[in-house]
Structure 1
Amino acid sequence: MGARCRAVVVVVAIIVVVFASCVVAGEGGGERHASSSSGTVFAETSAMTRSIAAFERWMRRGGAPASTTTTFVGDVGVGVIPGLGRGLYAKKNITKGALLLEVPLEKCLSTASARADGTFGEAFGELERGATTNAMLAMHLLRQAYGLRGDSAYWPWLKLLPREVDSTLGWTEKELDEIEGSNLGAFTSAVKAQWRAEYDALNVTHLRRRYPDVFGGKHASYYTFEKFIWAMFVVWSRAIDLSTGSEDAPTARVVVPFLDMANHSPATKLVPAWDAQKNAIKVYAASDFTENLEIRFNYDAKPSQYFLLQYGFIPENNPAECVEVTLRVADNDPLRDIKETLLEKHGLNPKTRNFEWKPVGIDADLLAATRVISMNEDEANDPTSVMLAIAGASVSARNDAHTKAVLLKSIASFLEGYGTTLKEDNVYVKAKANSTNLPSKRKRFALLLRMREKIILLSSANALFKEIPDEDSELVIDSCRYAFYNEYDACMARARGETFRKFE
């Protein structure tokens, strides 16, 4: 199995090359994305240059119209990366620790700017009593982007925002079918349901009656659920949380113009900070930057499924890549209470955390938790056996066989959930390698995600066979009879590796 897994990894590298123009980035429109691994000189178009120039002039004008606060923009500019979209770059050589931006709070999208927005500010007082911060900022954004448009003080910035939701939250049902089997499908549905509940809690019908000049008449179409999803996506993908040092409001969620256009890199290159005296956000360089090369920002460490869900792209290189998996103690397990207590005591409670299938090796916490779940009564009540399981060591040959059977079942269940096998994905990629008729950007994202996940799962199966070798065939048979008595043949097929070969 090991050689076959390594072979298919090469094909995933091919898909990145074949679909490189759009696999790791949005196609213009100001989408957030991952930049290439090396610095990139920026290209420009006349229309884009004019929009960017207008935005940079607006940034340097100061705070909001009624503010006298100064905005500082250092040796950093907005440019266009060929094939990737907009991003930040160094106009001159920049040294680590240099101040790049100082943006007054009034110029950012925040609860403070919403309160200062005339009649909308009055309505905002009602929203604060029951809406989430993201929902309030989303409504504020809709007011500025659609209600005021060119009259908005933010218009030069708003013009550069994307108008599509490339996150899976904006995909059609047919497009979502392409990620069948991935956890991302369930996550997308859950976030949509949450956003629907947040939208309903806003009671837009009441707002239309109470504040017709803002929410009623021709303005009503600006606050539909569809537009709300767009606004929530912008806020969720671009806002940052800053520590203010205040006891009343210890953190502030803000969307900072200019900073929000920085592309992702796993290595943090920018450090935003709150300046309470100036009521402004400052952004410092966390490393040296060479003139004309890109300046990036770390969006956080997370699997690619979350990047596609929150930002609408998949990183080209992702050190945090994995497939998340949940565990639970069976409801009918007579040792359930004991095992759940042990898991809770050692930070392995599956009710409060997930575990991971990793590209290389086996997640130590996943293995430890499964060993605890697989314990018999003697093992669960033996401190030495518990210590061995938590430490990552073998508890017993019987426990190893049961643990391996449970984990192989988990991997197989994932692989069986996808609508295609890895081989079928490979054939599709090879067929498109020399084609001028590329599939849609969203299909390419889906294809890359599911191929990465399948490779991780197959590599994990391979790692399990190496890490927990079968010591006794009778123990394997007993484990399948005990744990999977209603699918004994399938359990044995997994134990022999047959199940996984058909998915490669």
Structure 2
Amino acid sequence: MALHTGETTQQQAMIEAFRTWCREQACDMSRVRVDRTSSGLGLVAEQDIGAGEVGLSVPLEALLTVSAAAKTDIGQAALNSATTRQGRLSSQALMYLVMVDGWHDPASKWHSYLRLIPTRHHDPLWWTDQERQERLEGTQLFHEAHRHMSQLRDVYDSLFPALSQELPAFFPVERYTFQAFLWARSSLSSRCFSMQQLRSWLEPDGQEPRTPPNVDPAAHEAERLADDCPAALCPLLDMTNHNPETQVRVGLVRCAGAVHLGISCTSPVAAGGEFFNNYGSSRTNLQLLLAHGFCVPNNACDALPVKIRTDDARRPQLQRQALELAGLQPAEVHELSLKNLLPPRLLALLRILCMRPDGLKTYVKHGSDLLLKLQSPVPPTIDYCEECELEALSTLEGQLLTQQSRIPPPDLSAPSAPERHAAVYRAGQLAIISEALKELRRRRQLFCSENSLLEEEEEEEEEGDSVASEEDADDAST
């Protein structure tokens, strides 16, 4: 392959080294090649690939799993160290340790693969505090990014500098920096495949099922590890770029007498076309930006997390009883989306929180049917205080308006890619808020219309008309 514009000799050498590594590991890449695409470095079909046909596959022995990481010299050193002896070692941290070592050590099994991973990522953990503030203020992702960064720092601090002091030959201080840990975290989160995909066969219907190979750590290693990494790195397969319109299947296949992890598209891929993956057909932009560093414009799966602010310490007993019967938690997070602007559970929660004691007494009599009863968009006024329904809708409206005011307006023409992706995320959040506010107003109008009630604006107009009439009468009298 000729050098592309902007591609250095060093980058080309790393690509060639990775191709050589794939051949040495007996990867099946006869139908695809690693190449530059409009999406960046990706996989291009060398020939027509039919729908459902396996496009490429990698032997299980070539994958970097927690089990494989535990068997390396670095993994064994960490598991048997005094630093980790007091508790279980995070499986994610174990992966990070092996990844950092593999990037530096040419003798590592995964060296050529790891060297091809970008040294910088674009997810929010790589932004400065000021950039996160400017790009994510008022959104749930602002808090999620802070939480993930704090957790990563805690894991790192639990191991270093202690491991470097105890075993400097294995964990040199200049190699195992927090920045290196951050690189490993973002590399794993953006490229990993689910371990569940390593436990199921990708086979045509009708073939006899076979027991998949065991890919879990050995029992004595599992005892030392926290079960917090249900993912694996799959070289070559993770070169596939994301396309939300693509549908794929990933699972075990037989290839040249060995068990591989393979991937197939449900639609054909023509020769010369890019072989895409789908990182998750139900991924929100929060999940995509946090894990992969990009967003999908007009993402149909986007969601707005909402948690009702309420004081649980001062909650009346009758209200507690109603919440328990309905199976609702005041602090639970509800996700609003363009497909589900006002989740029934959220409305049920608001109705309980806004209901008067007499109404609660009536509703708790429904027992286990309470949640179903309260999910009705417009509860009948015969056994429900009409002011409470309007108050419930107004409470949510007020919270959404507050969230809306805190989110900076999106600039989709921002100069940098991270800024643009953050703008796409904010635009999606604001779109959901806008549509939810419209739906709240529609439901308020419907409720008032069906129950012969006046809305606040109409009441104010009537009061104004009344005052004007009185003034006219006074003028006439004078």
TM-score normalised by structure 1 residue count: 0.72
1:296 paired to 2:267? no
| CA contact 2:253–2:261 (8 Å) conserved in 1 | yes
Q: Following the alignment from structure 1 to structure 2, what is the Cα–Cα distance between the partners of residues 386 and 108?
A: 47
Alignment counterpart, residue 140 of structure 2, candidates 176, 183, 192:
183
Q: Following the alignment from structure 1 to structure 2, what is the Cα–Cα distance between the partners of residues 137 and 108?
A: 12
Alignment counterpart, residue 333 of structure 1, candidates 307, 315, 334:
315
| CA contact 1:402–1:476 (8 Å) conserved in 2 | no
Q: Following the alignment from structure 2 to structure 1, what is the Cα–Cα distance between the partners of residues 178 and 278?
A: 30
C-alpha displacement at 1:44, in angstroms? 4.3
1:235 paired to 2:188? yes
Q: Following the alignment from structure 2 to structure 1, what is the Cα–Cα distance between the partners of residues 370 and 356?
A: 10
Q: How does 1:200-349 map to 2 (within 5 A)?
A: 200-201=157-158, 203-215=159-171, 219-243=172-196, 244=199, 249=216, 253-267=231-245, 269-274=247-252, 278=258, 280-300=260-280, 301-327=282-308, 330-331=311-312, 332-334=314-316, 335-344=318-327, 348-349=328-329
| CA contact 1:120–1:214 (8 Å) conserved in 2 | no
Q: Following the alignment from structure 2 to structure 1, what is the Cα–Cα distance between the partners of residues 80 and 265?
A: 37
| CA contact 2:75–2:97 (8 Å) conserved in 1 | no
Q: Return closer, same or farther for 1:385/1:199 CA change in 2, 3 Å cut-off.
A: closer
| CA contact 1:237–1:310 (8 Å) conserved in 2 | yes
Q: Following the alignment from structure 2 to structure 1, what is the Cα–Cα distance between the partners of residues 379 and 453?
A: 17
Residue in structure 2 matched with residue 8 of structure 1 by the alignment: none
Question: C-alpha deviations, 1:133-177, integer Å up to 9, x for none?
Answer: 21110111011113x1x4433233223211113110110012112
Q: Following the alignment from structure 1 to structure 2, what is the Cα–Cα distance between the partners of residues 274 and 351?
A: 41
C-alpha displacement at 1:386, in angstroms? 4.9
Q: Which has the higher contact order (CA 8 A, sep 6+)?
A: 1
- Bigger-Rg structure (1/2): 2
Q: How does 1:29-108 map to 2 (within 5 A)?
A: 44-45=4-5, 47=8, 50-62=13-25, 70-82=26-38, 84-108=39-63
Q: Following the alignment from structure 1 to structure 2, what is the Cα–Cα distance between the partners of residues 328 and 342?
A: 21
1:403 paired to 2:392? yes
Decide which moves more: 468-477 or 251-260: 468-477
Structure 2 residue runs of 5 or longer lacking an equivalent are 200-211, 218-228, 458-478
Q: Return closer, same or farther for 1:476/1:372 CA change in 2, 3 Å cut-off.
A: farther
| CA contact 2:48–2:270 (8 Å) conserved in 1 | yes
- Residue type at the aligned position of 2:390: A
SS of residue matched to 2:116: coil
- Residue type at the aligned position of 2:93: A
Residue in structure 2 matched with residue 39 of structure 1 by the alignment: none
SS of residue matched to 2:438: helix
| CA contact 1:134–1:236 (8 Å) conserved in 2 | no
Q: How many residues align?
A: 406
Structure 1 residue runs of 5 or longer lacking an equivalent are 1-41, 63-69, 433-437, 478-504
C-alpha displacement at 1:191, in angstroms? 0.8
Q: Following the alignment from structure 1 to structure 2, what is the Cα–Cα distance between the partners of residues 308 and 456?
A: 18
- Residue type at the aligned position of 1:73: M
TM-score normalised by structure 2 residue count: 0.75
Q: Following the alignment from structure 1 to structure 2, what is the Cα–Cα distance between the partners of residues 452 and 352?
A: 22
C-alpha displacement at 1:261, in angstroms? 1.8
Q: Following the alignment from structure 1 to structure 2, what is the Cα–Cα distance between the partners of residues 325 and 190?
A: 17
SS of residue matched to 2:424: helix
Q: Following the alignment from structure 2 to structure 1, what is the Cα–Cα distance between the partners of residues 319 and 275?
A: 51
C-alpha displacement at 1:260, in angstroms? 1.2
C-alpha displacement at 1:268, in angstroms? 5.2
Q: Return closer, same or farther for 1:386/1:232 CA change in 2, 3 Å cut-off.
A: closer
C-alpha displacement at 1:465, in angstroms? 0.6
Residue in structure 1 matched with residue 462 of structure 2 by the alignment: none
Q: Following the alignment from structure 1 to structure 2, what is the Cα–Cα distance between the partners of residues 206 and 192?
A: 20
Alignment counterpart, residue 111 of structure 1, candidates 43, 47, 66:
66
- Residue type at the aligned position of 2:139: S
- Residue type at the aligned position of 2:122: D
Q: Following the alignment from structure 2 to structure 1, what is the Cα–Cα distance between the partners of residues 166 and 454?
A: 74
- Residue type at the aligned position of 2:421: F
Q: Following the alignment from structure 2 to structure 1, what is the Cα–Cα distance between the partners of residues 214 and 68?
A: 21
- Residue type at the aligned position of 2:300: P
